[in-house]
Structures are given as structure tokens and as C-alpha cells.
Amino acid sequence: MGLIKFLKDKFGGKSQAPKDKYVAGLAKSRHNFANRLKLLSNRYQKVNEAYFEELTEILIEADVGVSLTFEIIEETRKEARLTNKDAPTDINEIIVDKMFVSYAKSGANIINEIQFQQQKPTVLLVVGVNGVGKTTTIAKLAKRYLDQNKKVLLVAGDTFRAGATAQLEVWAKRLDIPIVVGAMGSDPSSVAYDGMQKAKELGVDLVIVDTAGRLQTKTNLMAELSKMRRVIAREVDDAPHEVFLIIDATTGQNGVLQAKAFAEATGLTGIVITKMDGTAKGGIILAIRDEIGVPVRFIGLGEKMDDLQEFDLDQYLYGLCLGDEK
């Protein structure tokens, strides 16, 4: 069974809350990708070199990434030759198959939910540049695990931006959870230390540590993150257990560059993509997986607290390629 038919059978014609969120959240990207594929196929009876050139352009403009785009196109050409297929609709189906394979070959069987430690706090370090929705995402993650009856503590490790601490304090109050803050301009590692002490004192399940979001090219920021990791590891064995990078989907290839820089410096365990509903370039998820090999764990499909969804490759491809089909 081809992937297109599989996705239609799995999701088509029935309302499911997660699937519906993907369909709504990926509307702009779907218009830019799936609709352009349809328009392209309507202009050709048989595929030729010009068709593949336009396909390449569509993938690149969807932020799939140049190297991955060429790989997908080449694999599609090979399969088309082997199966003697030259109808545009067949080629477009092969493209979707290859998009799935490109992600899955890097390891699709990832457990996206945080796996909690026994007898000690689970520590999540959250990194990312300013303006990507880091503070709001921390709040959404906290709410997600509060709803799973976990005790959550926030640690305001971005001591260089007063607004970051203030925003996190507002969220802590709204969610009715404890927060550890430090003085403006204080050493973030000292705040992280205080946070670990408080976590053990309160017996919390999850500690979410915010970090400074200055430009990823600053070597002092990376040194600072490394120091925070060392301090946290001294206080809680094997911590941080998770390091999530928050990326704004609307930044496109800039987000891929950010992911590379942070992966080198902090040992990422996952990516959280925010503002997917605001971009027409939904291919960034495939590009990140291809470029740095770190899985997307959660995806932001809107502004509501429950719009942060666990990433699901099937639902993503359905929302990107088929969501408008009846």
C-alpha cells in the first residue's frame, strides 16, 4: 500500500482531535506545498525534465533543505524509472513516500514524551534564541505534565533579560506551580543550583530550566550553557535528562542553523517547533532531522495551551499533503 492511500485510510473522513489540529495548523504550509503539487500535475500529462525542475523548486521553497531535496528528487527519479511511471499523480505520490523515508531512516521510533526518572527529579533544560516562543512553550510543557499529575518546578535561568523572568513568573502563578528566580544579571548557574536544591526539597517530578536566549553565535553563551549543565549534573545524577531546543518555524533555514549550533554545544535530545501555523514552509521539520539527526519531539500548531502536540510523522504528512481532501 502506498503512503498516500495509507494516510487517507488512517485519517480521512473521521474527526480526530490531534489530526484536526495538524490539519488546521499546517494550512498555510499545505497551501504552499500540496496545492502547488496539484497545480503542477494539472499542467503536465507526462513528467519530463521541466517537471522535475519545478518539483525541486517546490521542495526547496517549502524549506525541505537543498541537500535533502536533491536526494528526494533523485530517489523519486530512480523509482519512476524502475516502475515505468510517468504520470504526474504517481510521481507526486512517490515524492510523499520519499519524504516519509527521509525522516524515518533517521529513526522514526522515538518516544516523544518525557520519560521520568525514578526517585529523583527529571530535569529538562530549554534552550533557544530570543523571540522563538521559548517562555510560552515552557508554560505549555508544564501544563502538559501537570495534566498528567506530575509535580512541576520552573527555574528562571535567563537572568540577562528581565522580561523573561517576569513572563515565567506570570505563568508560574497562572499554573499555580513553584518557580526559582535569581537577581537580574546574576550567574545563571547559581540559579540552576538553587533550582536543583528546591526540586529535591519539594520532591518534584519535573524541573524545567529556562536559559538565556542571546544569539547562538556568541561563544560566551555556549560556555554558560556548558557550565549550567555541569552544575545541574553535580546536583542531580545524569541531569539534565532532556535538552530541548525551541525553534520558530517561521525562521526557515535560520532555524536549521540554530539547531546545528546548539546541537554542537549542548547535546540536544529533542526539538520543539513553534508557530507552525504561521509558516508556509512546513518542510523545516524534514530539514532539521536530515541536517542534525535530532528528532522533533513536539510541534506548536496554534496559540492555545493544548495546541502544543506530540510530533507524529503520519499526522504531519497528512496535514501537509492531504488535509484539504475529502
The pLDDT of residue 90 is 92
> Is the model's pLDDT at 142 over the cut of 90?
yes
Residue 215: how many CA atoms within 13 Å on its side-chain side?
Answer: 4
Give which of 306, 18, 313, 311 is closest to 148, Cα–Cα: 306
**Residue 120 in contact with residue 229, Cβ under 8 Å?**
no
Over residues 265-276, the pLDDT tens digits come to 778 999 999 999
**Residue 99 in contact with residue 72, Cβ under 8 Å?**
yes
Over residues 155-196, the pLDDT tens digits come to 999 888 878 899 999 999 999 999 999 988 889 999 999 999
Over residues 226-259, the pLDDT tens digits come to 899 999 999 999 999 999 999 999 888 788 888 8
The pLDDT of residue 59 is 93
> Is the model's pLDDT at 219 over the cut of 80?
no
What are the chain's domains? 18-104 (1.20.120.140), 122-321 (3.40.50.300)
The pLDDT of residue 325 is 62
**Residue 57 in contact with residue 9, Cβ under 8 Å?**
no
The pLDDT of residue 190 is 95
Helix (H, G, I), strand (E, B) or coil at 270: strand
Over residues 193-212, the pLDDT tens digits come to 999 999 999 999 999 999 98
The pLDDT of residue 5 is 80
